[in-house]
Amino acid sequence: MSPTGACDPRGRERGGGYLPAGLVKGFGDRPAWFLRKDDQELVEIEGRLPEDPMPKGRAHELLKALRAFTDANADALQAILGRAESLVYAFHGDAPLKRVVASFEEDGFIVCADVVRAGDIVIPEA
C-alpha cells in the first residue's frame, strides 16, 4: 500500500505561508493529508470520522491553501508518496491528527506523519 502524508498544513510556524492568517487560529492545527489520486478510492475516513459542517468559504480557503502547497511541493511529496500522475489532498475539520493517522492505517496505508515543518517538506530518513 502506498504511503500517505498526514500532517499539519501550516507546519510548525503558524501559517506556513499557505494558510490565510485569518484561518490560522481556528484551523491551523487541523490535520491534512496528501496521497496519489490512484489511491484515493481506498480511503474510508469520511465514513469513519464524520465532520461537522463547515462554512463553504472557510473550506474553500483551506483547500486553496492545500492546493498551493501541493503545487509548490509536488516533487517532494512524490518523493515520499511515489510517482503519480496526480496528487490529491484534503483536511479534517474536527478530528485530531492521531485519529486521522489511525484511520489511514486501518485502510492499509503507511502514514508519514509530521513531514511538513514550517511550511517545508522534511523527507523522513529510511
In the chain, domain spans: 3-121
Residue-wise pLDDT tens digits, 14-62: 345 788 788 888 887 888 899 999 999 999 998 999 988 888 888 899 9
Q: How far is CA 36 from the centre of its chain?
A: 12
| Grid cell in block for residue 110 | 503507511
The pLDDT assigned to 74 comes to 92
- 108, exposed or middle or buried, with CB in 10 Å at 0-12, 13-18, 19+? exposed
pTM exceeds 0.85, yes or no: no
What percent of the chain has a predicted confidence (pLDDT) above 90? 40
DSSP code for 102:
H
The pLDDT assigned to 120 comes to 78
